[in-house]
Amino acid sequence: MKTFASSVIELRQPFENEVVTHPFECGWADEAVFFVDLHDPAEGTSLDLRVQLSADGIRWLDEGTRITTSGSAFARVTHFGGFLRLAGSATDTHGVTTPVTVSVRLALKG
């Protein structure tokens, strides 16, 4: 029987420039699913996030999976080591970084 855990990583968290979520230790899990919600975005806002992994929760590397959304989205990840987080930014229709409010949930199975 697999173990399952679900955690709220960010809940309606405002980000001014760069979006970087809290890291989550999940080395026991075989697979992870990030669920991302962009709250009340301005017209033309696009959120672009990269999945990052870390062995120690301090030094981060891009895993390769990207999430781009103007509303809600998810990403599945496997083979990720000890810690996971999301990093990126939101831009407006002109490509200028814009503030956003984001919720991120992480579902883990292992």
Note the pLDDT tens digit of each residue in 66-95: 999 999 999 999 998 899 999 999 999 999
- CA count, 13 A, side-chain hemisphere, 59: 2
pLDDT of residue 1: 83
pLDDT average, residue stretch 9-31? 97
pLDDT average, residue stretch 25-52? 96
Q: CA 79: distance to chain centroid?
A: 16
pLDDT at 2 over 90: no
Domain spans in the chain, listed from the N-terminal domain onward: 4-109
Q: Domain 4-109 is in which class? A: mainly beta
